[in-house]
Structure 1
């Protein structure tokens, strides 16, 4: 049994256990439940849930049960899980223990927010940290046959596992358990040796791709958005939705270095939408959910070159001009007119392209000068984080699907004008390509045609093929192998699969059964920041 799996039963979650099953904080909004229902739900939680999820709902052997943790379970999903359990997990079914009314009131109670934001201090972070294998004892070379840079990390959400897939043979090398609701975006060390994984429950896991074993684990928060790895391989930065902070870790073994509250100058705090690394700038870029700001945190030993044009006036002018907080890991605040929900970067990391929360506008921010330089027509909620870039008729262009509209926008990255709208059979989620293929693949993630994937020609911006790999099941998230000769697509279903296609002929080569493979991440494409995949 792997160290990570053994660790699932250990209670490193809270420093204080509550002897009652009542939540440790009063609920912020009790109006949806009558007093007797509230009392009944509290008692039900105390009796049936505390042992695994703890009295404060912050998690234990089971995941945290907070609105932030459960936001993806919509409609009757929470009640269904309570009633029927979760396959391949320790969550039992309660339909023979509780009646329908009790299950419904307990599900409603779990959706109630806490009146106070539960804290997760540096002491809590440090206490959760565990190193399973000393990095100094790890082997110097891969312990398997194959190209270590052509591996895929496949996140299987169906039963909270990760499969390491050999990109040469398309055979699994390892399959190991993860924490609850792992975020799809695996991040790699610059040499491609280590992969860092973050769960919505706040856990960050470090895995060695040479020896195929978990190295370390730490809980950085209660609800984590994602992680990023510095381009020099020294640091991992985690961004949290709960609490509102950033946590800086030592990439060698996840030892915590710094806890950074995300607070504006006037004292307002914000959730973190995402953390990115900007390799040419040697900095982390932070997207904020509740503040009209973008943060840039330099991890360079000398941060001055991060801000071109201000180097010669560094001591005299930079604080006023760029609003920089000095000291180790200086925070630069770029003030905007609106909060941005999603980000995209050009390949040079000179420009940040953001989607505004109003779902109509996009804006281009020049990171060198720290201000908006252009607006973009991006109605229909583009999913910029999954956009791609490529050359079209001598111009670098951005192609992005939209979460609400059945279309792909293609935007000239010199004029920032839309040069083409490609109509699709429904709103999409992911676009993917590779430098060695003339084609781009875009899924139709939402609506009645969620089982189709469009392939368009980057030379003509016309759809040349539409695939329906598994009728009735969501087909999504294409990722290419290192060479660009193969495209891997997911069937997002508990009884799902990763399908390997010939990228030139679009013919299916192999189908690998998987438990809802929500994402696949090729080592080489990620560490080289391929224009055809997300960064």
Structure 2
């Protein structure tokens, strides 16, 4: 496999990957040309694979294999893709045109085949130094308050927008991989590591003027998450990237991004069934130990990978529940809380004993995103999650030392108007912000809910105020460095309107809009440098 073939991710192979993935056509499946298969494969990768899998075997979403889809028929498939479902699948009528919807409905009736694997040698072929270390600045080259930068995903643009939180100016757009899912910081917050869906793992230096990528490597064909070592003598020594395909994780040198080790995550689920497409869902550094948490989605296993000796990796495999997705730590940094969304559960892991300590059913398809921790007047310290399958935010006790009777038990829940992706708060705030981005209707997904921590009362806030046909949703909340502002993205996904995205900034006390950053291309997640490096929220 050549460097050129890998350098642009899933679409850059010398043969049409999407056509190869479709494989042999079922007798009852609609006929498709090679060109149609390739085009449909690109759409599927961009819009569908994250929930339904590279091999279409299902995960958060159901399987899309021909034995199911052919019987459903072209017309019904087109209807589901067009209008979405209230169970968590968004509508695509404002995102894809009629021809594209017809094409995807045909494509998911074909038989999938596996894309190529990648060895460590293949991965090393893609490693690229953009700015040599000897050219890195020894102090910030600009006079901006870089600790209040918002490192912002511009999803379909394939870039990270660096926004000055003080002036509300877009400083620059750093070129990265497509559809970045999350960004993780170095221990001092200067460097940011971002993982594109196309496998491109990039390192950004915020001290440069303007901030830019210093190095990159492709760790897979389809990838999702990243983490950086922050513990003891290994602080900022290693970065880990996790792939959906091939199902593996890669440990690289955090300074240079040179890939050092690749480890397969294929194995067995909690019932002993072999899982070939065992994808890495989420990655985290453990604050109190020299280890990464590798959450293997389809197996329902949390792996605690000790990086103190990467030549002799020590890995504890904790069985939890399927399918693992997003998670976050409690304020102490000891307990990890992650959604097993197919099982409708939150899972709790003690990273000091390296054992699972609890599981809790919270609602239909929990999805906490970066999560939220706060103090409830009845239950003490709690944490919460939104849900992809229903309009609900559920919260539970998470302080087993001081509140043992409340630990890992539901404290309460509030009903929102629709399913959401993210929940966020701040220690100095009276509020918990909840989005409703997964509801198919604009009169719900363009609003967020704000829950008062003391009374648990909900206040609806209209964010997106874009025409319905633009298909713009309000998504992902982040506080600024002061904890007084809440930044909410308007993710404009509609055809021809991707540049109409914006970030709306609210006063957390009055809940009134105070500023906007406009003309952004598909903004989604945002990460405040100060808050993230200090684990605030």
TM range, smaller chain: 0.7 to 0.9
Matches within 5 A, 1:419-430: 419-430=411-422
Q: Name the TM-score, length of structure 2 as normaliser.
A: 0.77
Match of 1:179 in 2: 177
Which of 452, 459, 462 aligns to 2:457? It is 462
Give the distance between the partners of 2:342 and 2:16, measured in 1 at CA: 43
Quick check: 192-201 or 342-351, which moved more? 342-351
Match of 2:430 in 1: 438
Match of 2:527 in 1: 521
Match of 1:138 in 2: 136
CA distance 1:122–1:236, change in 2 (3 Å): same
Which of 33, 52, 71 aligns to 2:29? It is 33
Quick check: 216-225 or 419-428, which moved more? 419-428
Give the distance between the partners of 2:427 and 2:178, measured in 1 at CA: 34
Q: Deviations over 1:410-438 (max 9, x none)?
A: 21224222222222222222111112222
Match of 1:85 in 2: none
The reply on whether 1:191 has 2:210 as its aligned counterpart is no
TM-aligned CA deviation for residue 236 of structure 1:
0.9
The reply on whether 1:499 has 2:504 as its aligned counterpart is yes
Q: Deviations over 1:315-368 (max 9, x none)?
A: xxxxxxxxxxx9533222123465534434323343333433444443433334
CA distance 1:352–1:192, change in 2 (3 Å): closer
TM-aligned CA deviation for residue 42 of structure 1:
1.9
Match of 1:307 in 2: none
Q: Which runs of 5+ in 1 are unaligned?
A: 1-6, 81-94, 302-325
TM-aligned CA deviation for residue 144 of structure 1:
1.8
Match of 1:68 in 2: 49
Which of 194, 197, 201 aligns to 2:198? It is 201
State whether residues 12 and 127 of structure 1, in contact with CA within 8 Å, keep that contact through their aligned partners in structure 2: no
Q: Which SS does the other structure have where 1:207 is aligned?
A: strand
State whether residues 131 and 213 of structure 2, in contact with CA within 8 Å, keep that contact through their aligned partners in structure 1: yes
State whether residues 180 and 196 of structure 2, in contact with CA within 8 Å, keep that contact through their aligned partners in structure 1: yes
Match of 2:513 in 1: 508
The reply on whether 1:238 has 2:241 as its aligned counterpart is yes
State whether residues 321 and 340 of structure 2, in contact with CA within 8 Å, keep that contact through their aligned partners in structure 1: no
Q: Deviations over 1:424-483 (max 9, x none)?
A: 2222221111122222211122333111111122233222x3211233442121111111
State whether residues 9 and 200 of structure 2, in contact with CA within 8 Å, keep that contact through their aligned partners in structure 1: no
State whether residues 395 and 412 of structure 1, in contact with CA within 8 Å, keep that contact through their aligned partners in structure 2: yes
CA distance 1:111–1:500, change in 2 (3 Å): farther
Higher CA-based Rg: 1
Match of 1:489 in 2: 488
Q: Name the TM-score, length of structure 1 as normaliser.
A: 0.77
State whether residues 360 and 381 of structure 1, in contact with CA within 8 Å, keep that contact through their aligned partners in structure 2: yes
Give the distance between the partners of 1:488 and 1:23, measured in 2 at CA: 41
The aligned length equals: 467
Match of 2:281 in 1: 273
Which of 336, 351, 372 aligns to 1:367? It is 351
Matches within 5 A, 1:28-427: 30-31=26-27, 33=29, 37-38=31-32, 41-42=33-34, 68=49, 104=102, 108-109=106-107, 112=110, 114-183=112-181, 185-211=182-208, 212-231=211-230, 232-264=235-267, 268-269=275-276, 270-300=278-308, 327-336=311-320, 339-393=323-377, 395-413=380-398, 414=400, 415=406, 416-427=408-419
Give the distance between the partners of 2:306 and 2:293, measured in 1 at CA: 9
CA distance 1:140–1:451, change in 2 (3 Å): same
Give the distance between the partners of 1:233 and 1:132, measured in 2 at CA: 19
Q: Which SS does the other structure have where 2:134 is aligned?
A: helix
Give the distance between the partners of 1:482 and 1:439, measured in 2 at CA: 16
RMSD: 3.7
Give the distance between the partners of 2:334 and 2:35, measured in 1 at CA: 55
Match of 1:476 in 2: 475
TM-aligned CA deviation for residue 193 of structure 1:
1.1
TM-aligned CA deviation for residue 525 of structure 1:
1.0
Quick check: 18-27 or 473-482, which moved more? 18-27
